[in-house]
Structure 1
């Protein structure tokens, strides 16, 4: 367990009890005034979850104030590798003087200015105090984002299984002559099996680089498959075809068997840009919702340098604010996952003696043939507990139905474990009495779901020896394309941007697998390469386009994904601009950029607040066009008015900026999130630009971490991470009795107007004038910001 940042999970009641015991005050211990001494200190930003009280080696990424080569170039200033090396050397020299055990690893200068270094965690504050250091980021762990994987046997495989590329229009694009020829796509991932017969054509002599083993061979490691699968979706050309089958590929192995770290991902981005990639795909991520992260910054500057950067949005949905870096990038194209249209069946489940179950429904399946094969047949069913691998060790489910309880592991893992044990289907029942809503197409065995009440009923029947089950299945309808529940949602903190930018198929995607094989995977990792391949097709047709043109074309021509539960389009923060359609993007005659807008926050308590926004319209046609505009907020709420030009005339091949004002009267609006659609029409083509605004402070997490760290004898740093700053922040210390919160000890400090994203102060380690004993404690942090309060507890160590 991490000692600083492992949050202790307490119930709401526990928090209420804390407040009732220890109110918001600087007095403590029965009203006695504290003699604690504290003072705020300036430091470079230390972002993220870093264990600052430990003396264990900790790897971090250091961003320097000195601008990278690409950043300086695009800001019109002069920068050289030699100067960066010199400035970086000064900081490294100062670091080595201040910290005895500091081991610098990778150094960056092209799209990111800084270096990675390993040093004791409790020395990081010294690093942050060195002149020239802009920010310190944890060298966080990145994973290849896959929800489930199923290898397809040679006997079962057919090329028609690769149906996602045709769905977004790849076949029609090929027929029009666009196959990605002459465009280079970098796959920054787990490496790639470039010997696969469907991929060998895409690689030249120089194939990329392996940052895990530090050599020039990006061949995927033993037991890994993610990068090969992603590469096939981009550019396979054999038994299956990727979206851009004639594109050239470069592989960059930045993720090993256990994932990878920021230092290698940033290094991969830098090298891909310098190697001349036109497009890069990063189907990887973490849970950090922050636009100013090392990977996100590197992607922003890669886009500025002319490389179309595509990244997965993450697999932590369906709640808002779940998008993580690098999907939080301001400029890169972040991609959400959709499920292709699939057939819906109703089911009547009957066990021995014609016992029926009211709540039974089809939860999901990978192949409709596997589902319909169950129809009308009788099977033995077996209790498989929670569906963990160990639950299957001592039971025989071969050719049977696994009965599984919800809990402990994801549904898709339960189904996968059932299949691995030989089951032909599964019944999953809720751990609570009621039903649950999840429908997950792509489950590895046909899966029926039930309420907790029916789950206990079927368990009871099984205990009586009534161990047979049959299913009466009936076709109901074919569901349209829908958003995958697992797909992460925006917005992004601080920028309040809509993410994802677009969506693409990501459930049950068939592509190449190492060793000449094929597999079906699901995750936003599978969605991103569809967009990377589409970008290659657009660049083949339009080699002079900039990255913003490619992004705009994909966003402007995407189609709304409709939620079948409501009959309305999913929220912008679920689908972005919609699901991509390649042919429409290739044929568009107008580009509107940026392809989405955030009007930001409107927090004025009285009166009206006005914000100005603009976007650029580019007329790609050979005729002069006249554009009209319409802005519609969902529900047409009073208090929001948008004014813009009624008509705008743009000459052929020219661009023009459109300015508009947004006026918000917060007195007429409830605090919350409001989404709008800006429609741009030339009389023939209509482009919808998704937009959002927030009334009041957005509902992002106010507090994301805290720490207590010893500087020297009698001196400690105490602090917290505040994404939006805080009007008030208070630090309370409590005893820890076992795993329970004990008595309040003291209020260590109360501050007002703490800035984002990081606050810290110096504490003398004393309570009531007496030195506090070393040991484990609970640091309770209370935050007030924009009318929202949060109180969280963290386990810390004083030593």
Structure 2
């Protein structure tokens, strides 16, 4: 039987049995000798690790000895020398206990500890080493980009960089605020500091490369045997501080690049923490982390580092993730408590209607425009009849051996992201695509597709396939302008709240769709590279650049002042489908506006509130919170307050001051209570707004609360990876699980679930956020499972809620 234990079980049982002491004189009733067990204290283990496995594992170790910055902010004295002495003691003790332990990175400034490689079944020895406070998983991060399109010099125009003027950056430049004197650290895939639009922003010291451990944080070039080239960090850098053909939000800011993501744009916690720490030590004023994973849990080591960086005065800005549009999809480090998490908006755009028909007048009523690169490329489809060719799921292999040049690729939804299907169609020579659903219902819109893409329902897709089977392989389009739409939230932008902390995320939003910026060419004879990317990665540097403008004007502002100014002055984004303001956990406080943030004379911090959950079945429950008002003006102000919860439910009452006078240049705390009578409310999510008014300006502070147990997903993903002696199978559990089971099913045609194969594992009392175990690759009666695609269904029970989700996995 697999030896899989939770931390609590290990403390109370495993160590007690191994290291127990026996009181020989103690006796139980009846004269029998009683064994006295002594609990041995061990460090906290975050995440879930198969402690019986010999799998090489990297973990992040936090020491009890406080980091330099943590100690400073607690009024204590700490030195690098003392920290090194204490850290060395722990490392020496660890190496005595675990011979195979191999220490990688050491931290002391914003995080106290080190990263270490060791067999998973030796981690319990690490937890028992004196001086260890906690052990964290080494989570994988990836650059947060949804899609990209390179732009040739012929079609490139500075006018394509329209997101900076949209948020008001150009007006800030006119008043002299360009980011001059402010240093922004880009913690990413590196940066092409030789790009003509970026060279001005880098001095002799460019930053640091944590992938190759040198002082050259250049992007991964073509031909690197470890993986694909990168360009993400250069694009982010251009959005912040380009000053050439592209002009970034803060064109005169100084940049530092920290390469923590290597080939393929992938990296891990140990390098991200090292990048944060070095950026703070190098004197950065702002740091941008356009990276993430899909775990809706605080990635503790990274969060600790970012939180202390904020405390030290470095504004930390991070992307919220690209897993929208459902709630609870925000990923780490967007889940951070202190950093500014950023969602992505789409700039105002045109909407088109579409009529799709094939030979003999067969029409497809469900056809709608899903997405397109430009209006011009979309309208080209009106010019004639086109042959369409079936490309299955749109995998690269589905295009092999077929001629798609100048044709339309017909594809089914499933397995690949919509944007990847469109990219593959473009690579094959197609000028457009039709994607039909694989289940009933309508598919989402996806702005910025690589080729003009039409979406249909499953039934219309099957009708298209039937016509193709008959030889009717020509399709025509009638696409017409319908209306213009103002700024909207991008469907891909991840939504909050954060599981377990229940915080609103994102904090703010910014443009993140079709953002044109710099990319490397790795060709000195043609250095001007540009591309249109989309993702929350593109939104985050807009906020980092805006923060640079604010810091130039207000060099004495703290990090929370910058965050508050951006949140307090953000504007509501309206959902065109409903005409209503998007929910707080979709847009945060709203879309940033630079001029308004520069001009504000009141700051309300924090800029949002979560009252958490109220679970009393009967009676009233009261929670206390507060916020600070800073009067930045030169005159005394009187502030009034109002609180509105959507629908004005009877069971929620917020009590705070009626009026408050704050002298010029002073600040004052406002304490308030929220009283919830759960007996008068249905279980669920409630959002409201605290309105702070000085007679001239009204500041809206978003707030949320939950009645009953929140409906966060009990399982948010699953995986099957090759292991030395079989396979690692696991899942992502935001809140852990009381009961967890893995069932394997066959994959049926059309990407549906086929017959039941076997239950691969059953477990209880699993902590968050990751669970995994080893599987030998066989099913019932020891039969080896053939390689190929399968369905892994994960059953979870947690706090009275059950969930059963199916995921496509591949056995190789």
Q: TM range, normalised to the smaller chain?
A: 0.7 to 0.9
Name the stretch that deviates more: 267-276 or 600-609: 600-609
Aligned-residue RMSD, C-alpha: 3.2
- Give how far 1:473 is off: 1.4
Checking the alignment, whether the CA contact within 8 Å between 1:143 and 1:260 is kept in structure 2 is yes
Give the whole-Å Cα distance in 2 for the aligned partners of 1:391 and 1:721: 31
- Among 461, 466, 472, the residue aligned to 1:466: 472
Checking the alignment, whether the CA contact within 8 Å between 1:46 and 1:758 is kept in structure 2 is no
**Alignment correspondent of 1:281:** 288
Checking the alignment, whether the CA contact within 8 Å between 2:197 and 2:244 is kept in structure 1 is yes
Change (3 A) 1:179 1:142: same
Give the whole-Å Cα distance in 2 for the aligned partners of 1:150 and 1:779: 36
Corresponding residue SS for 2:611: strand
Over residues 529-555 of structure 1, what are the superposed CA-to-partner deviations in whole Å (9 max), with x where a residue is unaligned? Answer: 000000000001111100000000000
Checking the alignment, whether the CA contact within 8 Å between 2:793 and 2:804 is kept in structure 1 is no
Over residues 150-208 of structure 1, what are the superposed CA-to-partner deviations in whole Å (9 max), with x where a residue is unaligned? Answer: 11111111111111111111111111111101100000111100110100010111110
Over residues 441-464 of structure 1, what are the superposed CA-to-partner deviations in whole Å (9 max), with x where a residue is unaligned? Answer: 101111111111111111111222
Checking the alignment, whether the CA contact within 8 Å between 2:341 and 2:507 is kept in structure 1 is yes
**Alignment correspondent of 1:226:** 232
- Among 614, 625, 628, the residue aligned to 1:613: 625
**Alignment correspondent of 2:605:** 593
- Give how far 1:289 is off: 2.1
With CA pairs under 8 Å and 6+ residues apart, which has the higher RCO, 1 or 2?
1
**Alignment correspondent of 2:722:** none
1:416 aligns with 2:423: yes
Which sections of structure 2, spanning at least 5 residues, go unmatched?
Answer: 6-36, 222-228, 522-527, 720-729, 747-754, 772-780, 786-791, 808-812
Checking the alignment, whether the CA contact within 8 Å between 1:293 and 1:325 is kept in structure 2 is no
Checking the alignment, whether the CA contact within 8 Å between 1:279 and 1:309 is kept in structure 2 is yes
Give the whole-Å Cα distance in 2 for the aligned partners of 1:160 and 1:135: 51
- Give how far 1:431 is off: 1.3
- Give how far 1:94 is off: 1.6
- Give how far 1:741 is off: 3.8
Alignment of 1:543-558 (within 5 A): 543-558=555-570
Give the whole-Å Cα distance in 1 for the aligned partners of 2:743 and 2:152: 58
Name the stretch that deviates more: 621-630 or 543-552: 621-630
Over residues 126-157 of structure 1, what are the superposed CA-to-partner deviations in whole Å (9 max), with x where a residue is unaligned? Answer: 21222322221121211111111111111111
**Alignment correspondent of 1:656:** 668
1:98 aligns with 2:80: no
Give the whole-Å Cα distance in 1 for the aligned partners of 2:732 and 2:375: 48
Give the whole-Å Cα distance in 1 for the aligned partners of 2:453 and 2:760: 49
Name the stretch that deviates more: 398-407 or 587-596: 398-407
Checking the alignment, whether the CA contact within 8 Å between 1:336 and 1:524 is kept in structure 2 is yes
- Among 769, 787, 801, the residue aligned to 1:788: 801
Corresponding residue SS for 1:584: helix
Alignment of 1:535-574 (within 5 A): 535-574=547-586
**Alignment correspondent of 2:371:** 364
Give the whole-Å Cα distance in 2 for the aligned partners of 1:742 and 1:299: 41
Give the whole-Å Cα distance in 2 for the aligned partners of 1:4 and 1:609: 38
Corresponding residue SS for 1:55: coil
Give the whole-Å Cα distance in 2 for the aligned partners of 1:262 and 1:312: 16
1:502 aligns with 2:514: no
Give the whole-Å Cα distance in 1 for the aligned partners of 2:732 and 2:282: 37
**Alignment correspondent of 1:487:** 493
Over residues 342-374 of structure 1, what are the superposed CA-to-partner deviations in whole Å (9 max), with x where a residue is unaligned? Answer: 100001112112221111111111111101111
**Alignment correspondent of 1:631:** 643
Give the whole-Å Cα distance in 1 for the aligned partners of 2:477 and 2:743: 56
**Alignment correspondent of 1:270:** 277
- Give how far 1:389 is off: 1.1
Checking the alignment, whether the CA contact within 8 Å between 2:344 and 2:513 is kept in structure 1 is yes
**Alignment correspondent of 2:391:** 384
**Alignment correspondent of 1:133:** 132
**Alignment correspondent of 1:641:** 653
Checking the alignment, whether the CA contact within 8 Å between 1:99 and 1:126 is kept in structure 2 is yes
- Give how far 1:757 is off: 5.7
Checking the alignment, whether the CA contact within 8 Å between 1:45 and 1:758 is kept in structure 2 is no
1:683 aligns with 2:695: yes
Give the whole-Å Cα distance in 2 for the aligned partners of 1:396 and 1:792: 38
1:349 aligns with 2:330: no
Give the whole-Å Cα distance in 2 for the aligned partners of 1:40 and 1:565: 59
Checking the alignment, whether the CA contact within 8 Å between 1:359 and 1:435 is kept in structure 2 is no
Alignment of 1:325-336 (within 5 A): 325-336=332-343
Matched length = 728
Give the whole-Å Cα distance in 2 for the aligned partners of 1:399 and 1:504: 36
Change (3 A) 1:791 1:242: closer
Checking the alignment, whether the CA contact within 8 Å between 1:185 and 1:277 is kept in structure 2 is yes
Which sections of structure 1, spanning at least 5 residues, go unmatched?
Answer: 6-37, 708-718, 761-772, 795-799
- Among 228, 244, 247, the residue aligned to 1:241: 247
Give the whole-Å Cα distance in 1 for the aligned partners of 2:408 and 2:107: 54
- Give how far 1:247 is off: 0.4
Alignment of 1:147-186 (within 5 A): 147-186=146-185
Checking the alignment, whether the CA contact within 8 Å between 1:419 and 1:444 is kept in structure 2 is yes
- Give how far 1:733 is off: 11
- Give how far 1:397 is off: 1.2
TM-score, normalised relative to structure 2: 0.85
- Give how far 1:401 is off: 1.1
Give the whole-Å Cα distance in 2 for the aligned partners of 1:203 and 1:743: 53
**Alignment correspondent of 2:11:** none
Change (3 A) 1:132 1:720: farther
- Give how far 1:699 is off: 2.1
- Give how far 1:437 is off: 3.4
